[in-house]
Amino acid sequence: MTAQPITAPVAAPAAARRGRREWGIAGAITVTALLASVLTLGAGARGVGWLDGVAAIAGRLDPDTATLVERFLVPRVLLCWLVGIALAVSGGVLQGVIRNPLAAPDIIGITKGAGVAAMAALLLWPSAPVAALPVAAFAGGVAAALLVYLFAYRRGTSPARLALVGIAVSALCEGGVRFLLVRNPLDVNAALSWLTGSMFGRTMTHVVQFAPWVVVLVPLLLYYARRLDTLGLGDDLATGLGEPVERTRRITLLLAVALAAAAVSVAGTVGFVGLIAPHMARRLVGGRHLALLPTAAALGALLLLLADAVGRGVAPPLEIPVGLITALVGGPYFLYLLTKTGK
C-alpha cells in the first residue's frame, strides 16, 4: 500500500531546538519570496526595468510607469501570494488528512470540478456576467470534492479510497469539459486560457474578492495543525488518543477544499503547486503541521511568483500562463518524488 504515515511523533526534548530551526527556514523562504516579489515586478513589461519595483516602492517612478506598476503588476504579485499560499496550505492539509504524500487539490477533484463548472458557465451561457465564472468554478470545485467524499465514504473514509475516487471524479469532470469543448469549437481558446490557469487580466478586484478566504481560512487551518499531527498517527492510534477522527477529518477537509476551490476560481487551474509546495516544505522542516503549513505557504507563494515572472518575461508580448509553467516544473519534480517514495 502506498499510503504511508508521513508524520512521526516528535520527540519532546529536541522539540524546542527543532522549532527554532523550522521557523528559521520558514522565515528565510518568506524573505526570499518578498525579495522575489520586488525583483520580478518588472519582468516582461516594456518600459519597466527589473529594479523598478524597488523604485516604485521608493516613489521614484514617473507617473506613467507608476500607473503601469500599480494597475497591472501589483495585483498580479498580490494574487500570486494569495493563490500560492492557499494552494500550498490546502495541499499540505490534504496530504495530512489523506495521509498520502501524493494528495493534492488536483487529485481530490477540486480542480477538474471547478473546470467543468466554469466551462459550463462560459460555453453554455455566453451572455453570463463576468462575475458568474468564478462563482460557478467555486461551486463546481466544492461540489466535486463533496461528491468525492460521499462516494469514498464507507463506514469512514479510507485515505487511499479518497484519492482513488478523487481521480475517478476528476476523470468524469474531464469528460464533461471535453464534451463542452467539442460542442463549442470556436471557444476552445477562450476555454483553454482559463483551464490552464493564469494571472492574465487579474485586477485588484480579484485580490479583494479572494483575500478574505486566505485571511480567514489559513489561520483556522493552522489552529487545527496539532490535530492533523494526531491524525497522521493512523486512525486507530488517533482514536486511542481521544481524537474524533472522522469529524476532524471532515472539518479540515471542508476548509482545505473551500480554500483551494476559491483559489482555483480566481486563478484557474494552477496545477502541482498544492502538491509540490507541501512536499518541499516537508523535506525542509519535517512533518509537524504547525511548521509545515507556514513553510509550504511561503514556498507556494515563491513558486507562483517565479512562475508568473518567467511567464511574463520569457517571450513578451506573449504571456505564458502560470499554470503551464507550474505544470512543466512541478510535473517532473513530482515524478522524481514518486520514484523516491517507491518501494
Partner 1 sequence: MRIPGWRLAIATLLVAVAGAGCSTGGSDAAGGGSNTKVNATSNAGECGKDTRTVTHELGSTDVKGTPERVVALEFSFVDALASINVKPVGIADENDVKRILPQLRDQLAGYTSVGLRQSPNLQQISALKPDLIIADVRRHKNIYDQLTQIAPTIAFNSNQASYQKNLDSAAAIGQALNRCKAMDDRLAQHRKVMEELKAKIPAGTKDKFMFAVAAEKTFTVHTAAGYTPSVLEALGLTCVVPASGDTTQPEMNLESFVAANPPILFVTKPEGTLFEQWEKSPLAQQVGAIKDKKVFPVDVAVWSRWRGVTAAELIAQDVVTKLYGG
Partner 2 sequence: MTAATISGPAAPAGADRSVRSRYGPALLVGAVITVLLVVGLLWSITLGSVAISVGTVVAALFHPGTSMQEMVVRTIRLPRALLSGVVGANMGVSGVVMQGITGNPLAAPEILGVSAGAAVMVVGALTFVPGLVGAPLVPLAFIGGAGAGLLVLALAGAGRGRVGTVRLALAGFTVASLLLSATQGLIIFNDNDTGNVFFWLVGGVNFATWSDLVTVGPWAVAGLVGALALARSLDMLALGEDLARGLGLRVQRTRLLGGAVIIGLVAGSVAVAGPITFVGLVVPHIVRRLVGTAHAVVIPLSALGGATLLVYADIASRFVNPPYEVPAGVVTALIGAPFFVALARRQRISS
Residues in the site for partner 2, rule: CB under 8 A?
A: 1-3, 99-100, 102, 106-107, 151-152, 154, 158-161, 163-165, 167-172, 174-176, 178-179, 181-183, 185, 188-189, 192-193, 195-196, 271-272, 275, 318, 320-321, 323-324, 327-328, 330-332, 334-335, 338-339, 342-343
Residues of span 12-51 touching partner 1 by CB under 8 A: 44-48
Distances (CA, A) of 86 to 106, 177, 242, 307: 13, 25, 29, 16
Q: Which does 203 bind (CB under 5 to 8 A by kind): partner 1, partner 2, none?
A: partner 1
Angle at 172 between CA 169 and CA 174, to 5 degrees: 110
Residue range at the interface with partner 1 (CB under 8 A); choices 91-99, 201-209, 267-275, 334-342? 201-209
In the complex, minimum distance from the CB of residue 262 to partner 1, in angstroms, rounded to a whole number? 7
The set of cell numbers assigned to 124 is 453554455
Q: Which does 12 bind (CB under 5 to 8 A by kind): partner 2, partner 1, none?
A: none
The set of cell numbers assigned to 130 is 463576468
Output DSSP code: residue 73: I
Q: At what angle do helices 273-285 and 12-39 cross, to 10 degrees?
A: 130
Output DSSP code: residue 314: S
Residue tagged 508524520 (cell numbers): 7
In the complex, minimum distance from the CB of residue 235 to partner 2, in angstroms, rounded to a whole number? 8
In the complex, minimum distance from the CB of residue 256 to partner 1, in angstroms, rounded to a whole number? 11
Write the single-letter amino acid at 9.
Answer: P
Closest CA relative to residue 97, chosen from 292, 343, 305, 342: 292
Which residues 6+ apart lie within 8 Å of 268 measured at CB?
A: 118, 194, 195, 196, 197, 198, 321, 323
Residue range at the interface with partner 1 (CB under 8 A); choices 2-10, 54-62, 299-307, 313-321? 313-321
Decide if residue 72 touches partner 1 (CB under 8 A): yes
Q: Which is nearer to partner 1, 4 or 127 (CB)?
A: 127
Write the single-letter amino acid at 321.
Answer: P
Q: Which does 134 bind (CB under 5 to 8 A by kind): partner 1, partner 2, none?
A: partner 1
Q: Which does 161 bind (CB under 5 to 8 A by kind): partner 2, partner 1, none?
A: partner 2
| Other Cβ atoms closer than 10 A to 211 | 15
Indicate which single residue of 9, 201, 240, 332 sits in contact with partner 1 (rule: CB under 8 A).
Answer: 201
Are residues 300 and 89 in contact, defined by beta-carbon separation less than 8 angstroms? yes
Distance between first and last Cα of the chain: 10
- Tell me whether residue 290 is exposed, middle or buried, using C-beta atoms within 10 angstroms of its C-beta: 0 to 12, 13 to 18, 19 or more: middle
Residue tagged 464533461 (cell numbers): 176
Decide if residue 310 touches partner 1 (CB under 8 A): no
Q: Which is nearer to partner 1, 20 or 46 (CB)?
A: 46
Q: Which does 172 bind (CB under 5 to 8 A by kind): partner 2, partner 1, none?
A: partner 2
Binding site for partner 1 (CB under 8 A): 44-48, 64, 67-68, 71-73, 126-135, 183-187, 189-190, 193, 198, 200-201, 203, 205, 208-210, 212-213, 216-217, 220, 223-224, 244, 247, 251, 254-255, 258, 262, 315-319, 321
